[in-house]
Structure 1
Amino acid sequence: MSTTTSHTPESEGPTRPVRLIQNEATTEIPVHLLFRDEPEPVPLRPSVVGRREGTGEQPRLRRPAPAQARHAPQVDPALVERPARVLPGAAGVVGGVCGLACGLATTWWAGALPPLVERALGLPLYPGAGLGPAQWAAYAGAGALGLFGFGGLARGRTGRAWVLGLFGRYRGTVRRTGLMWVNPLLLRRRVDVRLRHWRSEEMPAADASGVALRVAVLVVWRVRDTARATLGVEDHETYLRECVEAALTRVPVGTPGSGRGSVDAAAEALTRLVAGDTAPVGIEVFSVRPSRVEYAPEVAAAMHRRRIAALDAQHRATVLTSVVDSVEDTVTRLTMRGLVELDDGERKALVKDLTVAFCVGRGEAGGVG
């Protein structure tokens, strides 16, 4: 049995240390983490991504994906108001007149024009070629020209706009005023772009304590983007109303009789919420302010009794404070001027009698008043 002994040649250099773990890897620790005063959770958790074994390559850190912020709902980004192509109204009038003139000339060509009309128009007498295919084609062209000319005439008004569409596709918005010519094949939708005030009916709401209220609000708004307001939602006025109702469920409204500061704070919060919800559909909201605040019918009676009880308690506390001050002033004056000399028992009896007398007097005065 032979024994084989292996020797390391000198040319191979020093012997490399043998790894105890074949897949071992080192992770670099930042220096600032060793000297922190208090332990804090590290926001970045190291994770190995694409490491090659046996190369000593340090693992790369994968940053966690940031939490996505909640954004308001958006409509089609390509749906943005743009000006439509229209012509001055004179072009439509000229086209219509040319259509009528072509129809009249075709009638004269066919010989169907009465002699009286020919003499009135100064036309030479022409026996006519009759109604053939050429005449009918000329009639069709003249009629189409006249219909396109007069049928495309439209009148633009201040504060109104036309939203144009063709086969379900948005073709632009017309904000011009005066007489103009619009392609009669386009579908027109009139939109009011003036500053508008909307006073709502009573809507359900609640105060900071959760008591049910009925609130009527005044909304100042206008249509800023006609394309989104008309095509982005089914009905932008209904959408605005629903946004106001949703905002009232999230914002506490001051109770009836509360200070102006509470109403201003609620109005500012309502305006901010409604403006953020309606901006994606082309509606610009300037103000949403509660104009009337009342308790809901189911809690109105109970809150009325509660308010009366609070006022009564406040009145009683005021009367009692006044009576105590009057009794104290009376007893102090009597003793300081030496009119009476009282021991503790007599002082207590005098205070009791004066308190009863003053309370009865205050009650009679209040009842008479």
Structure 2
Amino acid sequence: MSSTTTSQTAGSGGPAEERPDGEPRGTGAAPGGGPAIGLGPGKDTKDAPRPARLIQNEATTEIPVHLLFRDDPEPGPLLPVDPAAIGRPQTGGIGAPGLPLGSSGYPRSTQGPPPTPRLRRPGRHTPRPAAQVDPALVERPARVLPGTVGVLAGTCGAAGCVATSWWAGVLPHLATEALHLPVYGGTGLGLVQWAAYAGSGALGLFGFGGLARGRTGRAWVLGLFGRYRGTVRRTGLLWVNPLLLRRRVDVRLRHWRSEPMPAADGSGVALRAVVLVVWRVRDTARATLGVEDHETYLRECVEAALARVPVEMPGAGRGPVETAGDALTRLVAADAGAIGLEVYSVQPVRVEYAPEVAAAMHRRRIAALDAQHRATVLTSVVDSVEDTVTRLTMRGLVELDDYERKALVKDLTVAFCAGRGEGGA
């Protein structure tokens, strides 16, 4: 009977096993045709280096496991390259030509270790752009004259027309007598008379046509052929160029009570909210020329703010209502300030559930109130029972063991619950 060689495989330390072909494991050639890793028969395994574990499949090159987790490549010696092997896939193991060797003597990929994955830092939050209009569109005072100038110009124009009629001899006899004018036959209507009529009429029309009355809390935005010419905030009798287009703007402090608008609470339950907005026009130029209708724009800003701010139902204290009002005021003021509107307050004055969820939410609220009431009653009963048992025991009126104590607690609980139920009924 032949003796069995007790060689050890590298990395296992146990006895060598025989392959199906009769060759003991740990000897012979390495996979891929490289030199043998294991030790031959009769050799001590303590002097042999322990090979690294390999990952290998049918289509990839053998890569040592430790190379997959290295941060920096370690250069190793290069073996001579076989010109005939250029262009063929490298499938060899240790000693494959042309592949660099690492510090452990095993080949690694020529492309180096895989790059270390880096975590991408979250980008900075880019704030949404603020609404703005033409920076050059700013309110400025318009040039107007006192009303006496217009009255004087209109009177002069009317007087010129009367004088021209007397000169041409077309003034009625009654008017001549009323004005105490001398009788004059007149020269007739000629080119000069018609020119005098035109000048006097134009002066009268411009004088009387430009008269305007300024009121407190009202302003006029003036424009000429689509160009902004200024704003009139003066009061009293004024003369404004009649060729200018006038737009009256209310600059008083105003409040607007909205119709029920869609909203939501912190849990996403659909609500209907009525808000009260206190506002005024600060820049008349931007309010009238920056948007088509500043009141419609304000309404849409309120709707957008309600879609972003959760509104709580009343009854949970003043805190949530005031918080929602402050947030709504801040958002609406920021959006409406671009067109010259100054918003002082946006407060929800009535909040109710939307019709599609009103019935379900009312039932849920009643159930929550009932559960809260039951918990309050139970807490009160337990406190009363505990106080009664403690007093009886501490004063020495009764001596109770565990069984008797449990029975007394049970009887007192039933009695107190029955009494609370009759009192609540």
TM-score, scaled to structure 2? 0.68
Matches within 5 A, 1:212-251: 212-251=270-309
Relative contact order (C-alpha < 8 Å, sep 6+): which is higher?
1
| In the alignment, structure 1 residue 263 sits paired with structure 2 residue 321 | yes
Structure 1 residue 67: Cα displacement: 8.7
Q: Which residue matches 2:100?
A: none
CA contact (8 A) 1:230 1:236 kept: yes
| Aligned-partner residue type, residue 302 of structure 2 | V
Structure 1 residue 108: Cα displacement: 0.3
Cα distance in structure 2, aligned partners of 1:123 and 1:175: 44
Structure 1 residue 41: Cα displacement: 9.7
| Aligned-partner residue type, residue 158 of structure 1 | T
| In the alignment, structure 1 residue 132 sits paired with structure 2 residue 190 | yes
Cα distance in structure 1, aligned partners of 2:314 and 2:354: 11
Q: Which residue matches 1:254?
A: 312
| Aligned-partner residue type, residue 320 of structure 1 | L
Structure 1 residue 338: Cα displacement: 4.8
Structure 1 residue 69: Cα displacement: 5.0
CA contact (8 A) 1:256 1:295 kept: no
Q: Which residue matches 1:70?
A: 128
Q: Which residue matches 1:171?
A: 229
Cα distance in structure 1, aligned partners of 2:119 and 2:392: 76
Stretch moving more, 201-210 or 332-341: 332-341
CA contact (8 A) 2:253 2:280 kept: yes
Please identify which structure carries the higher helix content. 1
Residue 244 of structure 1 aligns to a residue whose secondary structure is helix
Stretch moving more, 147-156 or 67-76: 67-76
Q: Say which of 242, 250, 254 aligns to 1:196.
A: 254
Cα distance in structure 1, aligned partners of 2:252 and 2:272: 29
Cα distance in structure 1, aligned partners of 2:134 and 2:221: 17
Q: Say which of 127, 130, 151 aligns to 2:209.
A: 151
Q: Which residue matches 1:63?
A: none
Stretch moving more, 329-338 or 228-237: 329-338
Cα distance in structure 1, aligned partners of 2:409 and 2:120: 73
Structure 1 residue 351: Cα displacement: 2.2
Cα distance in structure 1, aligned partners of 2:307 and 2:388: 57
Cα distance in structure 2, aligned partners of 1:333 and 1:187: 91
Cα distance in structure 2, aligned partners of 1:196 and 1:365: 53
Cα distance in structure 2, aligned partners of 1:286 and 1:358: 55
Cα distance in structure 2, aligned partners of 1:182 and 1:196: 27
Cα distance in structure 2, aligned partners of 1:293 and 1:69: 31
CA contact (8 A) 2:314 2:321 kept: no
Q: Say which of 359, 363, 367 aligns to 2:417.
A: 359
Q: Which residue matches 1:283?
A: 341
| Number of positions where the alignment pairs a residue of Structure 1 with one of Structure 2 | 306
Q: Which residue matches 1:323?
A: 381
Matches within 5 A, 1:77-92: 77-92=135-150
1:137/1:69 CA distance change after superposition, 3 Å: same
1:128/1:340 CA distance change after superposition, 3 Å: same
CA contact (8 A) 1:163 1:188 kept: yes
Stretch moving more, 167-176 or 342-351: 342-351
Residue 184 of structure 2 aligns to a residue whose secondary structure is coil
Residue 320 of structure 2 aligns to a residue whose secondary structure is helix
| Aligned-partner residue type, residue 345 of structure 2 | S
Deviations 1:188-237 (A, max 9, x none): 00000111111112111111111111111111111111111001100000
Cα distance in structure 2, aligned partners of 1:42 and 1:359: 63
Cα distance in structure 1, aligned partners of 2:386 and 2:345: 55
Deviations 1:250-297 (A, max 9, x none): 111122212212222211111111111111111111111111222222
1:349/1:235 CA distance change after superposition, 3 Å: same
Cα distance in structure 2, aligned partners of 1:165 and 1:129: 44
Structure 1 residue 120: Cα displacement: 3.4
Q: Which residue matches 1:61?
A: none
Q: Which residue matches 1:296?
A: 354
1:78/1:364 CA distance change after superposition, 3 Å: same
Residue 273 of structure 1 aligns to a residue whose secondary structure is helix
1:332/1:264 CA distance change after superposition, 3 Å: closer
Cα distance in structure 2, aligned partners of 1:335 and 1:272: 62
Structure 1 residue 337: Cα displacement: 4.7
| CA RMSD, Structure 1 to Structure 2 (Å) | 2.2
1:68/1:317 CA distance change after superposition, 3 Å: closer
| Aligned-partner residue type, residue 240 of structure 1 | L
Residue 298 of structure 1 aligns to a residue whose secondary structure is coil
Residue 357 of structure 2 aligns to a residue whose secondary structure is helix
Q: Which residue matches 1:307?
A: 365
Structure 1 residue 307: Cα displacement: 1.9
Deviations 1:148-198 (A, max 9, x none): 111110000001000111111111111110001111111100000111111
CA contact (8 A) 1:106 1:139 kept: yes
Deviations 1:18-42 (A, max 9, x none): xxxxxxxxxxxxxxxxxxxxxx999
1:313/1:287 CA distance change after superposition, 3 Å: same
